[in-house]
Structure 1
Amino acid sequence: MPMKLHQIQALVAVADAGSIRAAARLVGLSQAALTKALRELESEARLPLLSRTATGVALTEAGQRMLGHARLVVGQLARASEELATLRGEGVGRVSLSVTPWVMLTFLPRVMLRFRERMPGVQVEIFEGLTAVALPRLREGTLDFAVGPFTAAMSTQEFECEPLLSYGSCVIARRGHPCAQARSLHGLLEQDWVVNYTAASYEPFMRNLFWQHEARIDPARLHCAHSTALLLELVRNAGMISYCPQPLLLAEPMRGWVHALPLAERFETSRLGIITRHNAMRSPAAQCFTDCLLEEIRRRARSAAQRDIELFDALEVLY
């Protein structure tokens, strides 16, 4: 027998809730009905998907693999239901996206205003678009798209990228830092650094920043922050060195206190784009939001305002 939707929903609920009792409340079933659905799913899979623990239940390796597919199915069906309800004039539409921090601080406010004028009945859910946040949600189907850098961690068989902009990156410190005038990366290896990477992006990140320049840093000097606000706080008030996209330096929260170090070393150019799962259909709301983003980029690229000129001196438009 094929797997049934209620069985797949039961697995997602248990993963989210951590126990049978809490999962049953989450989906509005009795514990007996939820347990039966899970046993049927395990029977179809012919592998144990759950293991009982002192604190609840945990997913086995097979359960973890099944969960990724289950989230995708449940997420896509929920999105289809939302779109149909919107077409019927019922309920509230929704678009879910992640946005890389420098785009969030430069383009996003005007994009949101433009989008709300066109689709006032649509709810927007936005995540800070660090790779560790965006990729799992794209895989699960809980994000419509991500606006961020297309990195080596993203398989072209799994994701598609519509190129928007390219930009460089630089090493930064707070103004007045003892190393603010450093000329070489090698003079910064005894400093504490705060950066952002994932397990999948660690090697290309290290190769670009350090290894290609024959610089070897003690891992104890390299701290990972999964929030831009946290990263900037540690640069500003803990004296740490960091590495960031050059356009971020032109965002309002960065002006006046951050300094790009005049290093001799150069780093790879990054490409920013609209990233979706391979062959995923874009909803009308998601398409409208991306259209608003493209229009705002074009408007700012043509602007004679000094801040826009400075911003596009650090960017190359790719579309």
Structure 2
Amino acid sequence: MKFQTLQALLHIEALGSIRAAAQRVNLSQPALTAAIQQLEEELNAPLLVRTKQGASFTEFGRAFLVRARLMVEESRRAREEIEQLRGRWAGSVRFSTSPAVALSLLPPALQDFRRRHPDVQVECRDGLYPGITPALRDGTLDFGLTPVHRQEIEPDLVAEPLLVTEIVIACHRWHPLRQATRLAELADCAWVYSSAPRGPGAIVEEAFARSGLAPPRRGMTCESFLALPAIVAQSDFMATLPRMVFELNAFRAALCEVPIEDELPRPTVHVLRRHDLPLTPAAQDLIAWIRHHAQAGREPAHAPD
């Protein structure tokens, strides 16, 4: 089972072509075809279906891809960790972030991290729990910065508290209930959730439950924090937003914070990762900078311990 063949399988999944994948791993197409056939013989199972339109994976192939991706990512991490322990800071850090962190802690943390490690590539994507779980499990992501209830996470993940976020209820500035002070007044409103029910973007459910109210009426789910403020600004939907997203989005002038006096949940953003997957020194250092700015706010940064 050759590492180069495993890499090629991942490229075939992404590109749908053995020829294109062969170019990515610097092999000729016949050589890659022979390597895949050898792997199929080792596994005693067909992995690919080859057609004139390209290549697709069999049921066996799709199952094996999960293992192949994990092996490739683990190999990458192992090489990078050894190099970083030798003082050669390169490689990559891949993570997802919640919008509250992306708009507050992440910019200064990245600036400090890049100053110390300019050769480390940082790959950041939007994402909340539980949507990021598959990418954490298969090694695509090193960690995620996301609100999560620790008691609800799966046993193969570990969550370490990072910061507590403030939530506001938002509507468009001329909404008839824009001056409501009790959640009960909003019982008949339609709400935009920023994640599926029970996810962190459905925090209004928790707020209603605390106030002894029936579950809110979900009008739609929008997992894009870029689009969500625009939708609320141009509709009669209500939504919960992290204060940083509410204050800094492009539609702020068209939005209104509803002055609810009932206590709203304050989600804790955690560093979420696989418990059996050690972080590379670079990933640990980036998390240290993020923690530093969570504790120190916008004060001038010094190197974290």
Normalising by structure 2, report the TM-score. 0.79
In structure 1, stretches of 5+ residues that fail to align are 304-319
CA contact (8 A) 1:196 1:225 kept: yes
Greater share of residues in helix: 1
* Aligned counterparts of 1:265 and 1:92: Cα–Cα separation in 2: 49
Helix, strand or coil: the match of 1:228?
coil
Q: Counterparts in 2 of 1:147-186, with a 5 A limit?
A: 147-151=145-149, 155-167=153-165, 169-182=167-180, 183-184=182-183
Contact 1:132 1:198 in 2 (8 A): no
CA spacing shift, 1:19–1:120, aligned 2, 3 Å: closer
- Unpaired segments of 5 or more residues in structure 2? 300-305
More displaced stretch, 19-28 vs 89-98: 89-98
**Residues of 2 paired with 1:85 and 1:20: CA distance?**
32
Question: Which residue does 1:310 correspond to in 2?
Answer: none
Partner of 1:36: 34
Task: Give the letter aligned to residue 132 of structure 2.
Answer: A
Equivalent in the alignment of 1:287: 284
- Counterpart contact for 1:171–1:260, Cα < 8 Å: yes
Deviation of 1:65 after TM superposition, in Å, equals 2.7
- Residue by residue over 1:105-144, the C-alpha shift from the partner in whole angstroms, topping out at 9 and shown as x without a partner, is 1111211222223323322222123347633322221222
Q: Which moved more, 1:200-209 or 1:50-59?
A: 200-209
Aligned-pair CA distance for 1:251? 4.5
Q: Which amino acid aligns with 2:268?
A: R
Verify the 8 A CA contact 2:163 2:294 in the aligned structure 1: no
Q: d(CA) in 2 for partners of 1:200 and 1:60?
A: 34
Give the total of aligned pairs.
296
Q: Which amino acid aligns with 1:82?
A: E
Residue in structure 2 matched with residue 215 of structure 1 by the alignment: 215
State the partner residue of 1:76.
74
Report Cα offsets for 1:226-284 as digits up to 9, x if no partner: 32111122222345432233454355767554333345776654331111112221212
Query: Hey, what's the Cα distance between the residues in 2 that align with 1:258 and 1:282?
Result: 40
Counterparts in 2 of 1:241 and 1:63: CA distance versus 1, 3 Å:
farther
- Identity across matched positions, percent: 32
Output the TM-score relative to the length of structure 1: 0.76
- Is residue 105 of structure 1 aligned with residue 83 of structure 2? no
RMSD over aligned CA atoms reads 3.5
Q: Distance in 1 between matches of 2:200 and 2:173?
A: 28
